[in-house]
Amino acid sequence: MKKPIPLSIVTKISKILAALSILFLVASRGLAPGMLAVVFLIAALITAVGDIIFIILFYRCPHCGGFLRTRYQHHYCPHCGNYLI
């Protein structure tokens, strides 16, 4: 069985992808003229979808594999009750 990615790393990667998506979106709205704006908009959409897929695949309990809601504030898994952090 493969060792899961620690939740702290999953959270950091997800935040980086979200920030990149916002950065591309801002660049497409104001900084880039014409066709370059479309390229930045497509990059923003790709990173946003990639972030969603990343969260679905990896934001899980390391003990039971149950999906955790984003912004989960408790330190225990709602599925198995094991300590998360």
Contacts of 11 (CB under 8 A, 6+ apart): 59
Q: Under a CB-based contact definition with an 8 Å cutoff, are residues 63 and 80 in contact?
A: yes
In the prediction, which pLDDT does 32 show?
A: 63
In the prediction, which pLDDT does 17 show?
A: 94
In the prediction, which pLDDT does 51 show?
A: 92
Query: What's the predicted TM-score (pTM) here?
Result: 0.77
In the prediction, which pLDDT does 82 show?
A: 79
Place of tokens 């003990």: 63
Per-residue pLDDT of the chain (85 residues; tens, 9 = 90+): 466 788 888 889 999 999 999 999 988 887 767 888 888 899 999 999 999 999 888 888 877 877 777 665 667 787 787 777 6
